Amino acid sequence: MKFFLDTADLREIEEAASWGALAGVTTNPSLYARIGGRLSGFPDHIKRICELVDGPVSAESVSLTRADIIRDGRELAALAENVVVKIPTMVEGLAATRVLANEGIAVNMTLCFTVPQAILAARAGARYISPFVGRFDDISEDGLGQLEDIVTAIGNYDFSQDTVKGEQVEVIAASIRSANHVAQAALMGADIATVPFDVLKKMVSHPLTERGLDAFMKDWEKVQNA
């Protein structure tokens, strides 16, 4: 499993990248709004994230028609080599994904909640598919169960012919709310988990690790004073 950070916050990205395990970043309009982002600064902000991260950086189209999504996608892809265009799962999004994928532009199909949506996204040439776990839980559905079904269904077929570069589509477990979500996603074989920074911090820590470290430090003090 690879880890992406689900944020538009440059400080969080810099810090997470320094931990050595960051493989990419996903942003969305809400995450950019959360850091006080302005429309005029958006392209430079995405470029800056692309410099900080050695891996794919998802930047989302905010258009609703295929022509506009394709225009957004081309503009976003021109910002940096590692930009991935994030497009919502809907008819216009699928049509735009096919055009962009044929041009060799990587697409992350977002707001994906069902197996049929995921298979359509993969057949339209998406490089990544993002099932939302937490938001499915939010409406009293089984987010992890749905993710598992999508991982299984995507794994049942070879989608490499659907992208011009012959790459296999990867499933990104998104809308992750806890370290347990990450653990379960890894056990079911999700390719990637995109996690908020607070979840990434929780993934590192365990009370027994802290207790063990404390004991080692105290015992080493005894050794030094012996």
Q: Does 175 bind ligand G3P (CB under 6 A)?
A: yes
Joined together, the tokens standing for residue 96 give 């735009």
Tell me phi and psi for residue 199, to 5 degrees: -70, -40
Say if residues 139 and 115 touch (Cβ distance below 8 Å). Answer: no
One symbol per residue from 17 to 46: x for binding ligand G3P (CB under 6 A), - otherwise; what is it? ---------x-x------------------
165 has catalytic annotation = no
Q: Does 55 bind ligand G3P (CB under 6 A)?
A: no
Quick one: which of 135, 167, 197, 202 contacts ligand G3P (CB under 6 A)? 135
User: Among 94-102, 129-137, 144-152, 209-217, which window interacts with ligand G3P (CB under 6 A)?
Assistant: 129-137
Q: Does 146 bind ligand G3P (CB under 6 A)?
A: no
Smallest distance from the beta carbon of 12 to ligand G3P, in angstroms?
Answer: 14
Joined together, the tokens standing for residue 211 give 């207790």
What single string gives the DSSP state of each residue in 39-104? Answer: GGGHHHHHHHHHHH-SS-EEEE----SHHHHHHHHHHHHTT-TTEEEEEESSHHHHHHHHHHHHTT
Q: How would you class 68 by CB atoms within 10 Å of its CB: exposed for 0-12, middle for 13-18, buried for 19 or more?
A: middle
One symbol per residue from 58 to 77: x for binding ligand G3P (CB under 6 A), - otherwise; what is it? --------------------
User: Among 45-53, 97-105, 128-136, 206-214, which window interacts with ligand G3P (CB under 6 A)?
Assistant: 128-136
Determine the size of the site formed for ligand G3P (CB under 6 A): 9
Q: From the candidates 47, 86, 218, 222, which is the catalytic residue?
A: 86
Which residues would be at the binding site for ligand G3P (CB under 6 A)?
6, 26, 28, 132, 134-135, 174-175, 194
- What residues are annotated to the active site? 86
